[in-house]
Structure 1
Amino acid sequence: MKASPHRPTRAVVDLTAIAFNIKQIAAHLPQETKKWAVVKADAYGHGAVAVSSYLETEEVVDGFCVSNIDEALELRAAGLKKKILVLGVSDLTALDLARTHQVCLTVASLDWLDLLEEAGLDVTGLVCHIKVDSGMGRIGFRDSKSVQRAIERLEAAGAQVEGIFTHFATADEPDQEKFEEQLANFQALLAALPQKPALIHASNSATSLWHAETVMQAVRLGDIIYGLNPSGDVLDLPYEIKPALSLESQLVHVKKLPENSSVGYGASYVTSQEEYIGTLPIGYADGWTRDMQGFSVLVDGQFCPIVGRVSMDQTTIRLPKAYPLGTPVILIGSSGQAEITASQVAQQRATINYEVVCLLSDRVPRVYRSDD
């Protein structure tokens, strides 16, 4: 989808806030712990190249995590030099690309290694990490014997097994039974290995925040570096974190409708009296989904309800008075003393803040700010 910079809807990303958040987390971790920024899904909608370039320049991270080889290649093409780890299972076509561009791949099963051997692919010089399924139920090895066989086969073929990692399913929840079970499973598997890879990592954002005592050699920081609480509003953040993204637009049309006038598709909203209705140039094609009807945006520091269905390109709101065209509207962020957070948007949609920011489409330009 083509970006629309000539439309007054944009996502403003504060790069200094992202760096600040990483420094906040780092201050509560052992000094030797490596910090990797998770920039998959275009840095959770914030812009992978811009975010990664800034963090690398500021020297606040040791590397980056992405979901697939194409995301890694985007960073390399932009000149990023630090370590990049692909967290997902890669297609066999990624092998040569990973070696050429110095990208670490994840190995998650013996079946995948069988495919490598059947295809006769050369893995000499490939750097990889072993993924352990300690209870998440997605990708990864489930037992130490399989892990050891994978390590032996990879090293015999000329690959370097640099790391081993797992991922927790409930680190952002109050009930810690599942978390403790997964941690015990991972520790038991590691203990059974005759020799462990140099880098052992298990901490995502939630684990780094609320289980810092379990941090190993590295942490993978995703949601939290963008100023988003991984638990939504279930757990309080232990220290200050700054939201990095605000979603802004402007009034492009304002009209006064008489009582009993319908607004939007399906005529799902009817004015109860004479009302001022404003139109915003943002809709579900931008990631501002139809279920936002009934939520509010901020105009002049006031909450203004979304009335009528959100359409593909436009959203209508009820205004307390007539405002001039071009008046700023905040969909995520602050106006005066009022604020709308991504977690509040997520609650309206019955989802998580991760999805809210990831759904912002390419049509919404990202505008970057920093103190530089």
Structure 2
Amino acid sequence: MNTFNDIKELVSALKREEKLISEMFSKRKSIDYKYSDAIELVDTDENRIDFLIARAVIRENGGYLELDDQYLDFFEQILDVNEEINLSYIDENIKNIKENIGYFLNENSETRKYGYLKFIKKTLRKIGSITIRSVVDIRRNIENTFKNEANYKNKQLKLENLDQKRSLVEKLIVQTLLLIDKEELTFFNRALDEELKRVIVDLKFQLRECSHNLIEIEKQIIDYLNQIKHQGKFLEKLRKLKYLKDHFTIEAETDIKQILANKNQVIFEKRIPEPLNLSLDFIRENEKAFEAIKRIAENHKDRKLFKPEIADYISSEFLENTIEEEIMINLDELRNQFIATSDNLFNFIMNYDFLRQVDFDERVTIFCQITSQYEKDLRIEDDFEIANGVEFALVYPK
């Protein structure tokens, strides 16, 4: 089997066959992808498909194509659509952390100690992401199993297995927290730096969120199992009745006649409305219809007619146009006038006539705005002065 020479060749191949790989991935569960369909997506160039097969990106099986397992797993994990829950990753990562902690404590070289510490930080981050993904996958699999699994025995068995995985995730969370808080105190006290501290805080937050979700998942599994148990009992009784009916012994071996005689299920049926629409010609020409209309009108003559209240006239004061004028400070114009002077910016603004009252604090704000927005047009000196308790840099036009 050929392999890619480097990462550049791999990325280029995936990019070139983007249409084919994307289509095969989206159809991975619905259909078996035919070779004849794939050839249309590579411009009828068989060499391009042979290239992917030779490098184990896709596999051919009797005229059908499918993505190789390692690429399929990679795409599912990156896109977070995988349904297989592999909790051995978490347990394996915890073991790797313990091993590297031992290496770190025994190492005298600072360079190699940094390598072990870097691996531990990376693995702690990985534990958090894998735990969150496992919880999401468990919840999604529970929903899919309860809604889509037709066989009740398999549905119950799958939910029980998912409950076992939920318990295993809880144990791994407890094991991870024990590792951080109790089992390796010497390492975390000796190697703790800002990055490791931040990684631990993020990991604890993620594990706490996962623990809360696992409680809800446990309640959901219990509820689903109870529903399956109830439905299973109902189906079991229904099968027994069908067996007796098929053998024509249902009336002899059960009291079904007495039970049905005591029930009146018609009251539970939904009432179907049947509107009666009379034609206009019938109402206008038939004397009986006219008498019925008069009788109905007589029964409703005592009804009160509610007249809508009319609002008062809008006062003319609210209809008058009012104009508020405010003098705005144009920073562009102020900048242009300053550049034409030789004074420093702070003195220029303090002495500038804005045509309205501008206090000291607002002038300081204007000084800061011009300095920050038009820095390219200004020359900021290293000298400072103080005015009214405010220290400012000397700023001149370029």
The TM-score by the shorter chain falls in which range?
Answer: under 0.3
- Structure with max Cα Rg: 2
| Greater RCO (CA < 8 Å, at least 6 residues apart) | 1
